[in-house]
Structure 1
Amino acid sequence: MRHFIRLALISIGIAAAAPAAAQDVELPYWASIDAEEAYMRAGAGMQFPIEWVYRREGLPVRVVRLIQGWRYVEEPDGTMGWISSGLLSRRRTAIVIGDELAAMRAAPSADADLRWQVEAGVVGNLGECSDGWCELDVENHKGWIRENSLWGAGEP
């Protein structure tokens, strides 16, 4: 019986520590939508009304707060709300921003060969960033774009 009680107490301790460990994340951090459809809610819970429906997997978001399975996020246009943590990924993505086409180059340099002109709103997987340039993979079209043309790159 003592052995059973000891195991029960250990199990309770582990279960209680797991959510606490999940809360020990340095904020803010970048994440991305990891579902074909995700709901942004007015509060941290299913009982709160849906304010926005995302149908764009991979869209980058900035996580600024967290509460028990929910993340308070900011999207590229500044909209903020709560999304269930299960609908987010730590996979780094970025979205092209600005009023003009962004040049995607073969190397991280303004003198490198131009590969594509990328429109604002295009989302891709973010690679390494250095010296003001970031590598971006848009459906296997890879190249380098100036960091200031991307939302989701750099420090959150």
Structure 2
Amino acid sequence: MRAFLAVFVLSAILGTTSTAQERGPVTNLPLPRYVSMKAAEGYARHGPGKTHRIDWVYKHRNQPLEVTAEYGHWRRVRDKDGAGGWMHYSLLSGVRTVLVEVDLLPLRRKPTKDAATAANAEFGVVAKLGACHIDWCKITAGGQTGWVPKTALWGVDPDEILE
């Protein structure tokens, strides 16, 4: 039993995952999963604790991040470029946001290619994530809401369905 517990704790610290259905040892939430930055600034550290060096500084409130591991009050996160580290859970929010990865992405009034365009979103825009179907997600940014292809976003899994 102790050997299993040691491997489980080491796995949480290193951020290794064996299946998509794995659950965090602290929150029992799925790993990996997406969250957003609650704070306007947050430090990503080399290890889970304030004594570890700061590897990265995030400076954008609502930026989407992916949680890959948990240890106590710390969450190992990475951004769309793969950079990241360990952040204190108080800096993170369960509110889902996404990054637009296509320039002048049309926000459609309905989840179809031929639907009218409500607005366009620029590359790099952070948007609040709403419902997601198989291929489309509803997002809100800059007071505009519309449907976009899921493939144009970072911060949502290809097979993820949200009501």
Q: TM-score range by the shorter chain?
A: 0.7 to 0.9
Match of 2:7 in 1: none
Code of the residue aligned with 1:147 in structure 2: it is K
Match of 2:47 among 43, 50, 56: 43
Q: 1:131 to 1:151 in 2, by over 3 A?
A: same
Matches within 5 A, 1:2-151: 22-98=26-102, 100-151=103-154
Report the Cα offset of residue 26 of structure 1. Answer: 2.1
Unaligned runs of 5+ in 2: 1-23
Q: 1:21 to 1:73 in 2, by over 3 A?
A: closer
> RMSD of aligned C-alpha atoms?
1.8
Match of 1:11 in 2: none
Provide the rounded CA distance (Å) in 2 between the counterparts of 1:130 and 1:21.
29
1:23 touches 1:67 (CA, 8 Å); kept in 2?
Answer: no
1:64 touches 1:71 (CA, 8 Å); kept in 2?
Answer: yes
Secondary structure at 1:22's aligned position in 2? coil
Provide the rounded CA distance (Å) in 1 between the counterparts of 2:28 and 2:133.
28
Q: What is the total number of aligned residue pairs between the two structures?
A: 136
Unaligned runs of 5+ in 1: 1-19
1:63 touches 1:73 (CA, 8 Å); kept in 2?
Answer: yes
Secondary structure at 1:143's aligned position in 2? strand
Cα deviation per residue 1:85-136 (whole Å; 9 max; x = unaligned)?
11001111101114x4322111111111112221211001100011311000
Report the Cα offset of residue 21 of structure 1. Answer: 7.3
Provide the rounded CA distance (Å) in 1 between the counterparts of 2:129 and 2:50.
31
2:25 touches 2:71 (CA, 8 Å); kept in 1?
Answer: no
Q: Specify the structure having the higher radius of gyration (Cα).
A: 1
- Percentage of identical aligned residues: 35
